[in-house]
Amino acid sequence: MMEQVTVIKIGGNIIDNESALADFLKAFAATPGKKILIHGGGKLATRLAEQMEVPQQMIDGRRITDAETLKIVTMVYAGYINKNIVAQLQAQGVNALGLCGADGNLVLAHKRTGAAHDYGFVGDVDAVNSTLLQQLLDAGTTIVIAPITHDGQGQLLNTNADTMAQAIAQGLGSHYAVNLVYSFEKAGVLLDANDDNTVIPTINPDTYTRLKTEGAIFAGMIPKLDNAFAALAKGVSRVIIGKAQELPQLIAGTSGTTIQNG
């Protein structure tokens, strides 16, 4: 039987709430076994950009990463947020190491091309250095990853954190039984985006197709679900989406929405 690894992506609204983040990190620290945490931090990046008078453009909720914005998101994601999380985990007795995709050639990406809009210095993942991750995990290190990648030619890129989590989980799939958890402020995939009591317990491809056709899944959840099914197709054992405040239950599969192939 393959050893388990839990890959957890934490939502931006949790990162932006100091007490919620502290509570989440306590639960994360108490999670047994090998684990990796992936984070973004878009709200803080937006506030810093405003303070620095760097205009921010969004298309369909996605940030346009121009050259100045790339500097800001790198400072925020790979700098303050990443190291703040690492420091809090160290205080919990967890030997955490903070990385971005450029460190140790962890995540290689290319600048997105062919999209309907030019998103600037946004990176789509090409490769994950799973050997490095395996070495760190086997040494007892808990890894905290910021979604800044690189193209191998000296260019940093801003990569979607959900996609980063999917790629990291897939990269580990041949070495471990990987559980991928998307944790955020909602209770799971909801029939009513404003009602946590409408959680859909399980979603398979047929259910997903039907719900999308019916317009029952709100638009912001669709990329997350697409990432989830892509991860399952590439060797990830299980994907769960749910509330960060219920992390132990999510990992146990007793809360949130479980995404499954069959």
DSSP assignments along 166-185, one per residue? HHHHHHHTTTSEEEEEEEES
pLDDT value of position 54: 94
- 63 is known to lie in a ligand binding site: yes
3-class DSSP state of 140? coil
Residue listed under structure tokens 């989440």: 24
For the ranges 58-62, 71-75, 213-217, 248-252, the lowest mean pLDDT is seen at 58-62
Q: How many other C-beta atoms lie within 10 A of the C-beta of residue 11?
A: 21
> What number is the average pLDDT over the span 51-60?
89
Name residue 158's beta-bridge partners: 122, 148
Name residue 65's beta-bridge partners: 120
Confidence band (pLDDT; 50, 70, 90) for 222? confident
How many C-alpha atoms does 77 have within 13 Å on its Cβ side? 32
Instruction: Name residues whose C-beta falls within 8 Å of residue 103's C-beta, 6 or more positions apart in sequence.
Output: none
Q: Residue 242 gets which letter from DSSP?
A: E
- 194 is known to lie in a ligand binding site: no
Amino acid at 229: F
Distances (CA, A) of 60 to 48, 119, 224: 21, 11, 15
Q: How far apart are CA 81 and CA 31, in angstroms?
A: 21
Question: Is the confidence at residue 137, as pLDDT, over 90?
Answer: yes
Confidence band (pLDDT; 50, 70, 90) for 115? confident
Domain count, the chain: 1
The tokens describing 217, both together, are 């899944």
Question: Is the confidence at residue 36, as pLDDT, over 90?
Answer: yes
Confidence band (pLDDT; 50, 70, 90) for 111? very high
- 158 is known to lie in a ligand binding site: yes
Domain that holds residue 165: 4-259
| 252 burial type by CB count under 10 A (0-12 exposed, 13-18 middle, 19+ buried) | exposed
Residue listed under structure tokens 């393959």: 2
Nearest alpha carbon to residue 43 among 149, 150, 157, 185: 185
> What number is the average pLDDT over the span 132-140?
98
The tokens describing 4, both together, are 């388990």
Q: How many other C-beta atoms lie within 10 A of the C-beta of residue 208?
A: 19
- 152 is known to lie in a ligand binding site: no
Does the predicted model carry a pTM greater than 0.85?
yes
pLDDT value of position 92: 97
Q: Which CATH number goes with the domain that contains 31?
A: 3.40.1160.10
Confidence band (pLDDT; 50, 70, 90) for 216? confident
